[in-house]
């Protein structure tokens, strides 16, 4: 075991503060990574504040991890010291259920081991819970370590590990591409990546935002059209238009208003995870054989495919770099939808000791 410094919350109402804890030593199948950057996902805030159920404390969040390999296990030949790598939302899974066999570890029947706030199964930390990427280093089974193209800015690549794959996976699964009319709801960390990917895949993209101040940014990011979702008349004019709508909103909102915008047989996919259940009017689905689905991050293989695509097309997130001691203020800004469009923590600003 070795000592590691991170930032943790001690309860649902406590701010994040410096925290010292132990990481396991690099085992034969592991990769040890010095973390250089970590994105701030809205899921970090939901979890730190126990919005999805009681979290385990101390809670060290962070699952948009970028860093350099500093050690590899005896059985590892795929990675070497110095490689630029990433770790997303998962650090393990059962590896033999139908979902794992299909490369969709995020849907593992036994539940994956999430990067933070998840029961740890690795020796000798089993029985504790996992600690995430707001920390100096991490040891991860090599299957869950991603190769990050060296041509990408490491800080701006960090959000690809969650916001990127979470929006890429449904676009790929529902085969979104040329000739499709796509709606993206909410211009936050996930939403801005959805706009970039849907545009890169050749779709005609309409952004729905509650924030008039984001119209110009939406267009700069590539959206062909922007609709202010609080404008009832403008929303009505979009009825029956869309093949596919991706909803990346973090808070309670009226999803029926968007179902009405799908054409016959159109799909609406939720990636946002509001704290409270939302109601669905049956008529909105039945009337035009529309579907409503959900999607969680993406499998390891498709995450690698997404990163390779980003390397080839030079796609990264639009980020605001912060110091680790600015993270509590950053949470408040995310809650006000005031981030362009992802905070990324520079891990060089971590204190040497807690």
Q: Where does this chain bind ligand NAP (CB under 6 A)? A: 41-43, 46, 162-163, 166, 186-191, 209-211, 214, 248-251, 253, 271-273, 295-297, 334, 337, 339
* Residue ranges in 97-116 that form contacts with Zn ion under rule CB under 5 A: 97, 100, 108
Positions of E strands within the chain: 2-8, 17-23, 30-39, 65-72, 84-87, 90-92, 113-114, 137-141, 146-147, 181-185, 204-209, 225-228, 242-247, 262-270, 291-294, 319-322, 342-346
| From the list ligand NAP, Zn ion, none, partner contacted by residue 164 (C-beta under 5 to 8 A by kind) | none
Minimum CB distance to ligand NAP smaller for 5 or for 221: 221
Q: Which is nearer to ligand NAP, 97 or 215 (CB)?
A: 215
Find the residue with minimal CB distance to ligand NAP: 188
Which lies closer to ligand NAP via its Cβ, residue 8 or residue 41?
41
291 forms beta bridges with: 267
93 counts as binding Zn ion under rule CB under 5 A: yes
Counting Cα atoms < 13 Å in the Cβ hemisphere of 353 gives 0
* Residue 12 contact among ligand NAP, Zn ion, none, beta carbon within 5 to 8 Å by kind: none
Contact 166, 271 (CB under 8 A): yes
The contacts of residue 39 (CB under 8 Å, 6+ apart) are 62, 64, 158, 159, 161, 162, 163, 189, 317, 319, 342, 343, 344, 345
Q: How many CB atoms lie within 10 A of CB 44?
A: 30
Q: CA nearest 17: which of 57, 66, 67, 65?
A: 57
Q: Is 273 in the site for Zn ion (CB under 5 A)?
A: no
What proportions of the chain, in percent to the nearest 5, are helix, strand and coil?
A: 30, 30, 45
Q: Which entry of Zn ion, ligand NAP, none binds 100, CB below 5 to 8 A by partner kind? A: Zn ion
Only one residue has tokens 């545009």, namely: 199
Based on the shown chain and the rule CB under 5 A, indicate whether residue 45 belongs to the binding site for Zn ion: no
Nearer to Zn ion, 72 or 93 (CB): 93
Task: Please choose which of Zn ion, ligand NAP, none residue 210 contacts, taking the beta carbon within 5 to 8 angstroms, the exact cut-off set by kind.
Answer: ligand NAP
43 binds Zn ion (CB under 5 A): yes
Interface pick for Zn ion out of 94, 128, 296, 335 (rule CB under 5 A) = 94
Q: Which is closer to Zn ion, CB of 132 or CB of 266?
A: 132
Measured from the CB atom, the residue of 36 and 166 that comes closer to ligand NAP is: 166
Report the residue number, 56 or 94, with the smaller CB distance to Zn ion.
94
Instruction: Assess 162 for contact with Zn ion (CB under 5 A).
Output: yes
Cross-strand partners of 114:
90
Report, in Å, the least distance between residue 41 CB and Zn ion: 3
In whole angstroms, give the CA distance from residue 298 to residue 293: 15
Find the shortest distance in angstroms from Cβ 309 to ligand NAP. 18
Cβ distance to ligand NAP smaller for residue 58 or 272: 272
Please count the residues of this chain forming the interface with Zn ion, following the rule CB under 5 A: 8
Asked whether the beta carbons of 207 and 193 are under 8 A apart, the reply is: no
Q: What's 124's DSSP letter?
A: T
First-residue to last-residue Cα distance in the chain: 17
Minimum CB separation of residue 190 from ligand NAP in Å reads 3
User: Which of ligand NAP, Zn ion, none does 132 bind, CB closer than 5 to 8 A by kind?
Assistant: none
Length of the chain: 354
Task: Kindly list the residues in this chain that would bind Zn ion in the complex (CB under 5 A).
Answer: 41, 43, 93-94, 97, 100, 108, 162
């Amino acid at each position: 075991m070795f000592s590691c410094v991170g930032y943790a919350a001690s309860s649902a109402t406590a701010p994040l503060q410096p925290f010292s804890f132990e990481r396991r030593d690099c085992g034969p199948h592991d990769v040890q990574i010095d973390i250089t950057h970590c994105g701030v996902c809205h899921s970090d805030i939901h979890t730190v504040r126990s919005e999805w159920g009681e979290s385990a404390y101390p809670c060290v969040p962070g699952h948009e991890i970028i860093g350099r390999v500093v050690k590899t296990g005896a059985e590892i030949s795929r990675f070497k010291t110095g490689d630029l790598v990433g770790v997303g939302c998962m650090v393990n899974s059962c590896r033999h259920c139908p979902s794992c066999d299909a490369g969709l570890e995020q849907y593992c029947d036994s539940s994956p081991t999430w990067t933070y706030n998840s029961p740890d199964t690795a020796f000798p930390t089993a029985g504790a819970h996992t600690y995430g990427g707001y920390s100096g280093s991490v040891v991860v089974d090599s299957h869950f370590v991603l190769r990050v193209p060296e041509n990408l800015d490491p800080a701006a690549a960090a959000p690809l590990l969650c916001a990127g794959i979470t929006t890429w996976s449904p676009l790929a699964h529902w085969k979104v591409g040329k000739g499709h009319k796509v709606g993206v709801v909410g211009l936050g960390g996930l939403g801005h990546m959805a706009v970039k990917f849907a545009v890169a895949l050749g779709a005609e993209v309409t952004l729905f935002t509650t924030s008039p101040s984001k119209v110009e940014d939406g267009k700069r990011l590539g959206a062909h059209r922007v609709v202010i979702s609080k404008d009832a008349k403008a929303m009505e004019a979009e009825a029956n238009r869309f093949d596919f709508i991706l909803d990346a909103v973090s808070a309670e909102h009226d999803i029926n208003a968007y179902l009405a915008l799908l054409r016959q047989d159109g799909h609406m996919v939720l990636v946002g995870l509001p704290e409270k259940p939302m109601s669905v009017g049956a008529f909105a689905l039945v009337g035009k054989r529309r579907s409503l689905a959900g999607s969680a991050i993406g499998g390891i293989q498709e995450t690698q495919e997404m990163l390779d695509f980003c390397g080839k097309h030079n796609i990264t997130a639009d980020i605001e770099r912060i110091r680790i001691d600015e993270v509590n203020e950053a949470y408040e800004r995310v809650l006000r939808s005031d981030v362009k469009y992802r905070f990324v923590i520079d891990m060089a600003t971590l204190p040497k000791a807690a």
